[in-house]
Amino acid sequence: MSTTLRFKMVEEAFDRKAMPVETPATRPEQYYGELVFNRQQMFKYLPKKIYDALIDAIENKKPIDRQLADSIADGMKRWAIDNGARHYTHWFAPLTGGTAEKHEAFVEHDGKGGMVEEFSGKLLVQQEPDASSFPNGGIRNTFEARGYSAWDISSPAFILDQTLCIPTIFISYTGESLDYKTPLLRSINAVDKAATAVARYFDPEVKHTISYLGWEQEYFLVDESLYSARPDLVMTGRTLMGHESAKNQQLEDHYFGAIPSRVEAFMLDLEIRCHRLGIPVKTRHNEVAPNQFELAPIYEEANLANDHNLLLMSVMNEVARRHNFRVLLHEKPFAGVNGSGKHCNWSLGTDRGAQLFAPGRTPMDNLRFLTFFVNTMAAVYRHNALLKASIMSATNAHRLGANEAPPAIISVFTGSHLAEVLKHLEESDAADLTDLKKQSGYSLGLSQIPELLLDNTDRNRTSPFAFTGNRFEFRAVGSSANCASAMLVINTAVAEQLCEFKKKVDARVEGGENLTDAILNEVRELVKATKAIHFDGNGYSDEWKEEAKRRGLDCETSAPLIFDAYLKPESVKMFESMGVLSEAELIARNDVKWEMYTKKIQIEARVLGDLALNHIIPVATRYQSLLVDNVIKLRSIFGDRADEMARCDLETIENIAQRMSNIKTTVASMVSARKRANALTDEREKAIAYHDNVVPAMEMIRYNIDKLELMVDNEMWPLPKYRELLFIR
């Protein structure tokens, strides 16, 4: 690609005006949720008796019968048609990591040669996608196609591009989960039951505990024309080569900076679309790296929040293309600058309005807070390897451990104030804990429990699992991930821990202790037992890596080996005892994880090999030939003096030759390693072979190509460079 052509593409991208946004004439509160079959629309389109029965089923997690489903389907169809829908689909999240849908029209034969618009309860409640065509880990053979999608009544239907989308679970014909929603819902039920039982120590009127999620979605934008000129971006979502720009993020001038007008137009368009779909997006800003941005919503119930994040990722791509952008959700699309995560803020609250991770101003509120806080620490400690496995992937492996994201070691940050409280609990039997808010001198009247304060310490961006005032922020989740993968693990782990905690507290009470002392004594034991997971220091430091090993925390960095945590006996026991995933489902999911890891690296390796041999080498050879021709001409004119005059050219010729030789040799080695790995039949062994043998070769190929980029004539270089991709004006 010539400099003229490449610069023309860049200039067109920079000069393109921001696309006008079709802004509704009304304020957000007037069009918010207008494409969602929410309670307002249910009340309008359903008979009162049917509406009451559906709300009761949603709130109390009851099944609905087929007659009720028929009435709901009729009202839902009328609402959808009134809002321009022509088709309906069951919308689910298979183990691909994305979403899936098959559209059906609202039509049936009328028996008279015509058609009628029809939608029954049977079609609403259940459909039959092909269960062998999605990743299933060997649960379904290719010739065994039957699987089921089933309506999730707790997540409202919505209209997307004239199609009624009905959120559903996806299971095999034999009943195993083939999606993320099914185990997420099971984990939500598990933590509801376990946390409610413990919450009733403090409020006997509690009926349910709700798991909340607030995600923060980071992403990159690149101009569509430049994106199309990068086969690696198109095929893999990241740049497999490219020398860093002289200016990237080192001046720290992009974070929270003024949003470029084209980007702001995209953001506004996206926000309007999200609000119409009931996604409560609220925050937007520039992130650290050039062309990197973030948006975040108001917190919601975890299942609904997860559906909204999946929907957002789909909508983002569509809106971006209308603005001549492409969204990059890969965790590390550009080397040398920050990658993208999706911080998952997780908390628990009761149906009585209590936030279980919110410190309070009464002794019992604070005892409740400490109870749930320390039990969560214990759950994270017991299953720290599993939590890491829940967020690991071929793409997130590029981001974890870099000095931009949490390390690949799970720890809990508490902050100095809470650390002092825990220290007092651990060291004192009588627990004469005075108020730690020194300036107020306020006493709560219960010596064991001081008043606890919100936001009483700095935040720690190096902590994978940080307490941030009234919630835990799981910062290690990747930008492209389905949040459910992480949320179902933390919900299940906490549910298991709370069940054990309650058994021990009840045993103490039966042994004669009063309830407050029994709770406090068990909390104290957990504080002592979980000291290893508590770390408030610099997670990026080499010292912490050594310290974490001494503490017995999981320090594995190989993605295929990290996945082993799902099949550890303690993990299988936890998932099965809480009714979230069976051992067969766990085995199948791990096969999918290893297979997906292999396939993603395999695709990257094939793309990189093609680009190296068919794009980079020919251009480098052509430029080298020009230099050789120049040296020959100099010698014909200047004779022996020419070698000194052409010394720089001769060095460049030699350097290019060496780089090309390295590239060709390493590509051949990579292809051989790939073939050897492909011959393996065990998915785990294949993934390990790709990690150990193919990935290092890819890194070496990239290193040599990036060196060539600095030598070859800019006009001849075939791909848009980082300095062109990374800056939107």
User: Residue 432 above 60 pLDDT?
Assistant: no
Q: What percent of the chain has pLDDT over 90?
A: 75
pLDDT score for 18: 52
Mean pLDDT of 467-488: 94
SS3 416: helix
Please answer whether residues 467 and 415 qualify as being in contact, where contact means their C-beta atoms are separated by less than 8 angstroms.
yes
Mean pLDDT of 662-680: 98
Mean pLDDT of 170-186: 95
Cα separation of 81 and 688, whole Å? Answer: 51
Please give the structure tokens belonging to residue 528.
Answer: 């002592």
Confidence at 442, pLDDT banded by 50, 70, 90: very low
Confidence at 386, pLDDT banded by 50, 70, 90: very high
pLDDT score for 459: 64
Cα separation of 188 and 307, whole Å? Answer: 14
Enumerate residues 6+ apart whose C-beta is below 8 A from 525.
Answer: none
**Worst-scoring range by mean pLDDT, 320-324, 391-395, 413-417, 572-576?**
413-417
Three-state secondary structure of 603-620: HHHHHHHHHHHHHHHHHH
Mean pLDDT of the chain: 90
Residue type, 573: K
pLDDT score for 211: 98
Q: What is the pLDDT of residues 28-43, one digit of tens each?
A: 888 999 999 999 999 9
Cα separation of 247 and 117, whole Å? Answer: 59
Cα separation of 71 and 49, whole Å? Answer: 10
pLDDT score for 640: 81
Q: Contacts from 47-54 at CB under 8 Å and sequence distance 24+?
A: 47/71, 47/75, 50/75, 54/153
Alpha-carbon 238 to chain mean position: 16
**Worst-scoring range by mean pLDDT, 10-24, 269-283, 284-298, 649-663?**
10-24
Please answer whether residues 433 and 447 qualify as being in contact, where contact means their C-beta atoms are separated by less than 8 angstroms.
yes
The β-bridge partners of 582 are none
Cα separation of 560 and 314, whole Å? Answer: 28
Please give the structure tokens belonging to residue 653.
Answer: 């010729």
- φ, ψ for residue 707 (rounded to 5)? -70, -40
User: Residue 24 above 60 pLDDT?
Assistant: no
User: Residue 717 above 70 pLDDT?
Assistant: yes
pLDDT score for 111: 81
Please answer whether residues 308 and 267 qualify as being in contact, where contact means their C-beta atoms are separated by less than 8 angstroms.
no
pLDDT score for 441: 31
Q: Contacts from 106-113 at CB under 8 Å and sequence distance 24+?
A: 106/77, 106/80, 106/81
Please give the structure tokens belonging to residue 675.
Answer: 């073939």
**Worst-scoring range by mean pLDDT, 400-414, 445-459, 523-537, 660-674?**
445-459
Give the residue from 660, 653, 671 showing the smallest Cα distance to 618. 660
For residue 294, the 8-state DSSP code is E
Residue type, 582: S
Residue type, 156: P
Cα separation of 451 and 263, whole Å? Answer: 45
Helix (H) / strand (E) containing 164? strand 163-172
pLDDT score for 408: 87
What b/e string do you get for 495-531 counting C-beta neighbours within 10 Å, with b at 16 or more? bbbbbbbbeebeebeeeebeeeebbbbbbbbbbeebe
pLDDT score for 447: 54
Please answer whether residues 481 and 396 qualify as being in contact, where contact means their C-beta atoms are separated by less than 8 angstroms.
yes
pLDDT score for 449: 54
pLDDT score for 21: 56
Cα separation of 105 and 596, whole Å? Answer: 33
Q: What percent of the chain has pLDDT over 70?
A: 92
User: Residue 251 above 70 pLDDT?
Assistant: yes
User: Residue 11 above 60 pLDDT?
Assistant: no
Mean pLDDT of 674-695: 97
User: Residue 158 above 90 pLDDT?
Assistant: yes
Angle of CA points 533, 469, 437, to nearest 5°: 100
Whole-prediction pTM value? 0.92
Confidence at 144, pLDDT banded by 50, 70, 90: confident
366 class by beta-carbon count within 10 Å (0-12 exposed, 13-18 middle, 19+ buried)? buried
SS3 388: helix
pLDDT score for 6: 55
Please answer whether residues 613 and 587 qualify as being in contact, where contact means their C-beta atoms are separated by less than 8 angstroms.
no
User: Residue 139 above 80 pLDDT?
Assistant: yes
The β-bridge partners of 472 are 346, 467
Please answer whether residues 89 and 127 qualify as being in contact, where contact means their C-beta atoms are separated by less than 8 angstroms.
no
Q: What is the pLDDT of residues 511-558, one digit of tens each?
A: 999 999 999 999 999 999 999 999 999 998 889 999 999 999 999 999
**Worst-scoring range by mean pLDDT, 10-14, 68-72, 254-258?**
10-14
Residue type, 530: T
Confidence at 17, pLDDT banded by 50, 70, 90: low
Alpha-carbon 54 to chain mean position: 32
Please give the structure tokens belonging to residue 603.
Answer: 């695709």
pLDDT score for 639: 86
User: Residue 453 above 90 pLDDT?
Assistant: no
Confidence at 657, pLDDT banded by 50, 70, 90: very high
Three-state secondary structure of 5-24: HHHHHHHHHHHCCCCCCCCC
